Structure 1
């Protein structure tokens, strides 16, 4: 059976017993308290709170009992009297059960199970939180406070914690001020507080993740801040941030902190040994572990005015002041270090008051885990463990969502890990089980349409009362624990399926708050986003992009300019984070229809003009190019080329005045005449002798002795023939890999002008919207964009070589040196000879091992693809890029991702033949339902895929498509005589189709036409 024992001062009946010695007013050995409330299983007391002269007890049936001095009515018996040595029930008007108690010097507090707070006793300093009287002889409800879950009394002050995580204080403050009504401590808004604690004139709070916050008097170093400066505002105790604190006990001027692993840290006054350090140091301003308890697992702690107690394995150790026998050692000698009370075992709970102590004993119930002596009610929060049950009860779910989302602290206390991961919150740990968060809100998203709307509307409405209330700005958040809301909110279904109204009420407000987070906390949040599983980072980005998409889709998107900028600024931050880690695909940030909804070419021109005038305050889409897909960037490059072409045209012309009129005199084109059989020689002479600025003008190509006027088609053929010759391995500039059929810089010394020429031609092709048949791997476009080449790039170019290196990396054995027999060298084959070079200084003598194989692979790829033998590949690449950027401006090219840039240059093969048919235009008598057109399409779809690609080559000069595919591919069919073959005008993508409604005959003629050689003549 359980038993209550007590020891310490008993002059006013505080223990509920009289001293057996007439000359002493204390009990120095544990003595059974006969008058405590009892039941069949012994003592029914579950919690005890002791003041200077009185004691309050809470029984398991929720009733209150009191004993001791009563000069201020602190016993709650309806009068101020001398008090009693007999434990009596406290008469209260409510039938509701009480669940937690606390007392000060001469005032008392108790909380009912429905969250009401009752106070009585002395109120001279406002410690009862009710104006009107200096003394309340009966329990008086504090009307201003509801949903109270914890109360902590100091000598003349009271602090309470509500279910929503709010902290209120009243009574005598550390600076002497008296608060006669509850005042909220706004600094704690957003903090997921688990408990509050009151000392003499100092206070502490503990969060769900073990973060300790302190404030108040600090003359003895009792705050543990490393100094003796008083703290008017709460501060986080950084020295204990990694210690996983689970409970706090405060004395008059000392503090104890219990950790999950059973250690006790202490600070403050130690002049009587109350922090157990073994010396009588008056000031101890830094929490230190109590060495005498090292090796023991402490499970409970308690602090009296100037003494302390802990439990270890069901036994009690006490230390500190012992003038009234409060240590239970059978004497009055103070103890400088913890000493066991040999007569006590099977300790279940312990309580320390002013100068007295109480112990509840019960056989076989000693706790093996560290924590508080009395279980505390947590603040409201959501947990997936009870989410499945709540989903079965709609009203329960509504109640939980409403109560949690109306409190920022409750949101931040939600979905915490159950294990050690909930502790030690820092940039490397947020403590939240994001998968539980995901499961919970995904389950809500699977509810019926009506229920889901109810839940989401409720969440949005209540967020306005908490996160978006403006009560506290993010820059004033106390600790990173306040930032968890930014990890949780993105899992609301409305975050990824927004409306314009949702974007305004959720997305924009969320991004505005993020912009207000102070720098060190933002660094922490950024690291969380980098570390969370990819699905959670993607969820955040997808949700914000969805919000942006909604605004872009609005026909009047310009009215949302301010909102757009707020949203885009956050996406810009996330894009930068992603750029450093490549967590998600770059196209996750894309607004794919941006080029359809916004005139981005006009935006670009305005942005260029604004940049030139150094005016960047206006909104421009160009500030956020990361949301643009390849098609949009292609448009930017196109308009940039037009700007440069126009500038080049204007700079090479003269404006003269003739009879009052301005006349433009000069050549508006960059014209070049080429002999077909001397195409390389003529092109080299034509380009290298011209200034790059002139080449930025629109290009006109003429093949000597051929009749075709260049309206685009001649240019196409010119580039195709030219690159076919330049890229031929026999020319020596590029070498083809026999396995992949892809080419790379040869590494063989070749005239630098040749590479310069290829770079210039590539730029000219882009400027003149010509697709180039480059046989290069993706790595070549990384060279243009100055991106790092990787093993994947080498594997694409040289599959066997790349797979060999990957095999080396994948090998898990420790005998890499013996199995692979490699050193830090690389071999090149030039002109039939093999040349070996070290990958690093002394590489010939450095073996490749399990510990350095990654370095070897990195150096190998760099040397093979970026440098080459004696650096020749690097020089060739540089000449290539120099030629390219002598014509094209880097500021637009740099916006592209490598694959987008590749598709810009060479096109793509994303064929949608139905879209090709849908977008085809018809001239003359032809229309979509004309018999000849019907027969043509029947014949076209009878072609093989390779034949259809050959038809594209025949029609447009190339079988590849621009970035936008067929959606931007303009082509037309016009009638011609029925006896003729189909003829293509590649400069217009125009097909002359004989008026013949015979599928089989049209199919035969199409196959004949698409096999014809290149060449241009007037039709």
Structure 2
């Protein structure tokens, strides 16, 4: 028998948990009648169904009052059931031709006082009844346990039994039942499908074909919002809210619609009937070995056994994939049902067609007078009942009443009901759907949810009810955590379809998701366990989220990660007990890893979004305080398969990446230093002092008057391994010893000279930025040396202050450049190209008379360089984007390819590091140049350190800061910074990283302040008054070049 649907009206805006009365009164229509077609109920068992089947409908003899009260009919192999408008259930078997419908014996006694029957189902030789209390009653044959475990027969087996409840369902509210040849299905309010009875062909969906396993839910339907269930002879179907069809059981005739190519005659686990995925199926009906599906547009598809013509395709062939009944394409099928080997289709306008029992094409049934409206068809066994003249089919909604849905809960009036909904995965899948999406399959890029309405409800109504009551808040958190944990940890309980993924978009809108706790790791763990197809769909949905919803998801996961970092019992120095530290770290990593893995996917999506979040949205500032970065980095370099934060570089801010870069440089310097010392030790023991010893430092001896020439000579003869040693600078003719200060000044001076356009290697633009001179005569090796110098500056943690545009740092990190980069370098040309792209008409573009070529100057001679294979082509509205892309590519790539390649090779030779690819272009620029606009002078004073402080120096220190803040303008303050540190740029870490050290010295007041740039230390003489201090300080900062021993 096909799964019949309840006549109850859904009330999605009311709480589902309270018991509800069933509306059974129907509007008045023309005098109804009940017709029967097919085998008579009194058919002898010896009769052949091929000869006893009657094609002419005959009216069932009913009293007029009973005929008018019939709501639904259920037909089995040898019996049928009637449900009337007052909730009465009548039955009739085939024992006698003159037998009349009579109340089901014992049914009335089994009903509660206020309960009534709302649905009847007839199986092969058993029957099921659903009551208004959500209880399931069963009677008839129990040879295969199809009545379920019962109080009067604990074994669940036996012969015929009287009416009794299916006892294990007492804890669940049933909303729909279906009966098959020897098995039964029950749909509960929380969208679980329970199966019991015959399992010889896997029709219970448990992954095996063993019998005697009793009643249990079909686990592989986890999270699916089911709206209809149906049983065939030995197979089962469910139809989801978004028209997804899943089936299991016997497939020996193709009745599951999933093909038989793999040769599997049984499917003991649910499989999708994917051929109907986008057909918007509204109803499914099962025969003994075939199936029919009705779509929203009135189409009818059949598949399975066709030997008696029951598929209606004009042949007696079986079909393993759904095929539309071509003969009915001109009619709009409203509903359909299946008998053992016959299919019935009720069409709009009151026409009913049948096919089967050796008639392989649809033929119309003669209904007689009163058949103008839609006809309800109920088939089973060898017969069908046609209800003519009753309420129109449109009045019967196919979605059962009482199914849980998140948007129907009432936090103020029914909190227990809200908790039940919060723990039901399917309740999320059918909530807050946009109009016209309610019965459509979800697809990549389109989830169909009204997330703004969901956020409004969850945060203001549900959130308000929970936040105001701590006990409720804990209950809600526990329910949602249990939901995620159950779906993640139970092997069979996974999300069954993309429709279930809506849960993963709605849960982050819950108020409990905003606070760090167990929810975020549980959600991330569930997401990471999704099969690849579902993961693809989910990521496409997240990609299309509005920025505020995407940002909330990222923010909640980042907060969870921050909380896990901050809650560690062991700090970065490892001062706690070692065993406790190891255990705490393992627990933290186990919960932190899924959050980071999910964030890694979100970070990749963010890179492809048009309205992307800033990189800082993914940073974990706490990582520098809670994680020993050097230890983590060393472990990562030794074994990249173990957990390390280096696998998630997006969580590092510029400060942390700078620290990692320093750690890597320090490790390489230590290695180079050790190798030099070991070599010297070996040489000393073996050859004495005959051979030159290797210096553990890279020493460059340069003259201020010949910086570039001396640097080129020194670096040209260096082996690449030498570049990994700590750098030391010696200025010829100066007695100073380099402890860092000379190195700072060396880079400041050499880049000032070498990047000067007069030198000819670089061109300066109106933006005061420089770029490679495409007409230079310098060989690539010289550009390689410049790249090496820049790499050495980074490697030795020196601010270089080079006026390169962002394009250079993108190219060094092998990232593509774009028009915005050209606009930064050359605003005039870049903005002109942007105006070209913004032009709205073809005339605006064509009047510019542009071709695919560019004019360049080579020693004051203008040259035309083609930008494409056809430079004579005009730039038009259709090809302007190609022209702009080619223009940008020429300026930033093609014109300087050889020079830049050499520059990059030299750069990587000096500071090649695994950390380098982790950097963003902006971060690399800040590491090289420092911050030019972040001069927090108050922070400089707050972070100052005073060597050997004394109360006697308080006035002197006060005078110094008074002069600094009040008498020095911004330019002089920056000159003081350069005087003190060797650079007028602020480190990435901010002004606090400068760490000014002031040391009061006992010398003549005629002496000037002295800066030790190696240590950022200022020697401040004991000046007698403020004015003297001001004059001496200004004199000192006027001379910021040159070193001497102090």
Partner residue of 1:230 out of 266, 270, 284 = 266
- Are the equivalent residues in 1 in contact too, given 2:459–2:511 (CA < 8 A)? yes
What corresponds to 2:543 in structure 1? Answer: 530
- Are the equivalent residues in 2 in contact too, given 1:241–1:425 (CA < 8 A)? no
Partner residue of 1:408 out of 413, 425, 437 = 425
- Are the equivalent residues in 2 in contact too, given 1:160–1:167 (CA < 8 A)? yes
What corresponds to 1:327 in structure 2? Answer: none
Structure 2 stretches lacking a partner, 5+ long? 1-27, 44-51, 202-208, 572-580
What are the equivalent positions in structure 2 for 1:802-821 lying under 5 Å apart? 802-813=830-841, 818-821=846-849
Q: For 1:644 and 1:107, how far apart are their aligned partners in 2?
A: 80
What corresponds to 1:75 in structure 2? Answer: none
Residue 705 (structure 2) pairs with residue 677 (structure 1): yes
What corresponds to 1:330 in structure 2? Answer: none
SS of 2:856's equivalent in the other structure is: strand
Q: For 1:929 and 1:237, how far apart are their aligned partners in 2?
A: 87
Residue 1046 (structure 2) pairs with residue 992 (structure 1): no
TM-superposition CA deviations, 1:319-342 (whole Å, max 9, x none): 21489xxxxxxxxx8853567857
RMSD: 3.6
What corresponds to 1:652 in structure 2? Answer: 676
Going from structure 1 to structure 2, the CA distance change for 1:296 and 1:950 (only over 3 Å counts) comes to farther
Structure 1 stretches lacking a partner, 5+ long? 16-23, 72-80, 324-332
Partner residue of 1:159 out of 185, 208, 220 = 185
What corresponds to 2:5 in structure 1? Answer: none
TM-superposition CA deviations, 1:855-888 (whole Å, max 9, x none): 33222211220111xxxx0111111111111111
Q: For 1:755 and 1:633, how far apart are their aligned partners in 2?
A: 27
SS of 2:707's equivalent in the other structure is: helix
Going from structure 1 to structure 2, the CA distance change for 1:338 and 1:584 (only over 3 Å counts) comes to farther
Residue 33 (structure 2) pairs with residue 8 (structure 1): no
Going from structure 1 to structure 2, the CA distance change for 1:216 and 1:733 (only over 3 Å counts) comes to same
What corresponds to 2:875 in structure 1? Answer: 848
What corresponds to 1:748 in structure 2? Answer: 775
TM-score after normalising by structure 1? 0.86
- Are the equivalent residues in 2 in contact too, given 1:220–1:282 (CA < 8 A)? no
Q: For 1:266 and 1:910, how far apart are their aligned partners in 2?
A: 72
Q: For 2:636 and 2:54, how far apart are their aligned partners in 1?
A: 85
How far residue 148 of structure 1 moved from its aligned partner, in angstroms, is: 1.1
What corresponds to 1:48 in structure 2? Answer: 73
- Are the equivalent residues in 2 in contact too, given 1:349–1:373 (CA < 8 A)? no
Going from structure 1 to structure 2, the CA distance change for 1:10 and 1:293 (only over 3 Å counts) comes to closer
Q: For 2:523 and 2:669, how far apart are their aligned partners in 1?
A: 44
- Are the equivalent residues in 2 in contact too, given 1:8–1:357 (CA < 8 A)? yes
Partner residue of 2:765 out of 721, 726, 737 = 737
Instruction: Single out whichever of 968-977 and 487-496 deviates more from structure 2.
Output: 487-496
What corresponds to 1:119 in structure 2? Answer: 138
How far residue 635 of structure 1 moved from its aligned partner, in angstroms, is: 1.5
Going from structure 1 to structure 2, the CA distance change for 1:1013 and 1:155 (only over 3 Å counts) comes to closer
- Are the equivalent residues in 1 in contact too, given 2:127–2:139 (CA < 8 A)? yes
How far residue 453 of structure 1 moved from its aligned partner, in angstroms, is: 4.5
Q: For 2:217 and 2:191, how far apart are their aligned partners in 1?
A: 11
Going from structure 1 to structure 2, the CA distance change for 1:5 and 1:691 (only over 3 Å counts) comes to same
Q: For 2:56 and 2:462, how far apart are their aligned partners in 1?
A: 63
Using CA pairs under 8 Å that are at least 6 residues apart, name the structure with larger relative contact order, 1 or 2: 2
How far residue 681 of structure 1 moved from its aligned partner, in angstroms, is: 1.6
Partner residue of 1:607 out of 604, 618, 636 = 636
- Are the equivalent residues in 2 in contact too, given 1:508–1:567 (CA < 8 A)? yes
SS of 1:7's equivalent in the other structure is: strand
Residue 442 (structure 2) pairs with residue 425 (structure 1): yes
SS of 2:976's equivalent in the other structure is: helix
Partner residue of 1:487 out of 492, 502, 505 = 505
Partner residue of 2:372 out of 345, 349, 357 = 345
Partner residue of 1:590 out of 613, 619, 632 = 619
SS of 1:941's equivalent in the other structure is: helix
Partner residue of 1:85 out of 97, 100, 107 = 100
Going from structure 1 to structure 2, the CA distance change for 1:536 and 1:7 (only over 3 Å counts) comes to same
What corresponds to 1:320 in structure 2? Answer: 355
- Are the equivalent residues in 1 in contact too, given 2:37–2:57 (CA < 8 A)? no
How far residue 694 of structure 1 moved from its aligned partner, in angstroms, is: 2.0
Partner residue of 2:118 out of 99, 108, 120 = 99
Q: For 2:442 and 2:649, how far apart are their aligned partners in 1?
A: 35
SS of 1:548's equivalent in the other structure is: helix
How far residue 271 of structure 1 moved from its aligned partner, in angstroms, is: 4.5
TM-superposition CA deviations, 1:391-416 (whole Å, max 9, x none): 4x0x52x3244212333333444444
Q: For 1:774 and 1:885, how far apart are their aligned partners in 2?
A: 17
SS of 1:84's equivalent in the other structure is: coil
Partner residue of 2:955 out of 931, 950, 954 = 931
Going from structure 1 to structure 2, the CA distance change for 1:335 and 1:884 (only over 3 Å counts) comes to closer
Going from structure 1 to structure 2, the CA distance change for 1:657 and 1:823 (only over 3 Å counts) comes to closer
How far residue 109 of structure 1 moved from its aligned partner, in angstroms, is: 1.4
Residue 237 (structure 2) pairs with residue 220 (structure 1): no
Q: For 1:961 and 1:491, how far apart are their aligned partners in 2?
A: 41
Q: For 2:277 and 2:328, how far apart are their aligned partners in 1?
A: 21
Q: For 1:640 and 1:855, how far apart are their aligned partners in 2?
A: 42
Instruction: Single out whichever of 726-735 and 673-682 deviates more from structure 2.
Output: 673-682
What are the equivalent positions in structure 2 for 1:429-440 lying under 5 Å apart? 429-440=446-457
What corresponds to 1:900 in structure 2? Answer: 923
Q: For 1:361 and 1:573, how far apart are their aligned partners in 2?
A: 58
What corresponds to 2:662 in structure 1? Answer: 638
Instruction: Single out whichever of 689-698 and 235-244 deviates more from structure 2.
Output: 689-698
Instruction: Single out whichever of 201-210 and 428-437 deviates more from structure 2.
Output: 428-437
State how many pairs are aligned: 961
Residue 830 (structure 2) pairs with residue 795 (structure 1): no
Residue 225 (structure 2) pairs with residue 208 (structure 1): no
Q: For 1:601 and 1:25, how far apart are their aligned partners in 2?
A: 85
- Are the equivalent residues in 2 in contact too, given 1:922–1:928 (CA < 8 A)? no
What are the equivalent positions in structure 2 for 1:26-37 lying under 5 Å apart? 28-29=56-57, 31=59, 34-35=62-63
What corresponds to 2:310 in structure 1? Answer: 274
- Are the equivalent residues in 2 in contact too, given 1:671–1:699 (CA < 8 A)? yes
Q: For 1:647 and 1:627, how far apart are their aligned partners in 2?
A: 28
What corresponds to 1:548 in structure 2? Answer: 561
What corresponds to 1:968 in structure 2? Answer: 993
- Are the equivalent residues in 2 in contact too, given 1:350–1:373 (CA < 8 A)? no
Partner residue of 1:302 out of 330, 337, 340 = 337
Going from structure 1 to structure 2, the CA distance change for 1:720 and 1:143 (only over 3 Å counts) comes to closer
What corresponds to 2:324 in structure 1? Answer: 289
Going from structure 1 to structure 2, the CA distance change for 1:139 and 1:925 (only over 3 Å counts) comes to closer
- Are the equivalent residues in 2 in contact too, given 1:273–1:319 (CA < 8 A)? no
What corresponds to 1:956 in structure 2? Answer: 981
Going from structure 1 to structure 2, the CA distance change for 1:673 and 1:219 (only over 3 Å counts) comes to closer
- Are the equivalent residues in 2 in contact too, given 1:529–1:537 (CA < 8 A)? yes
- Are the equivalent residues in 2 in contact too, given 1:475–1:516 (CA < 8 A)? no
Going from structure 1 to structure 2, the CA distance change for 1:521 and 1:680 (only over 3 Å counts) comes to same
What corresponds to 1:243 in structure 2? Answer: 279
SS of 1:860's equivalent in the other structure is: helix
SS of 1:287's equivalent in the other structure is: strand
Q: For 2:952 and 2:115, how far apart are their aligned partners in 1?
A: 83
Residue 678 (structure 2) pairs with residue 688 (structure 1): no
What are the equivalent positions in structure 2 for 1:344-363 lying under 5 Å apart? 344-347=371-374, 349-354=376-381, 355-361=383-389
Q: For 2:1019 and 2:721, how far apart are their aligned partners in 1?
A: 38
Going from structure 1 to structure 2, the CA distance change for 1:375 and 1:531 (only over 3 Å counts) comes to closer
TM-superposition CA deviations, 1:761-792 (whole Å, max 9, x none): 11111122211111111111011111111111
Instruction: Single out whichever of 127-136 and 676-685 deviates more from structure 2.
Output: 127-136
Partner residue of 1:462 out of 471, 475, 479 = 479
What corresponds to 2:3 in structure 1? Answer: none
SS of 1:640's equivalent in the other structure is: helix
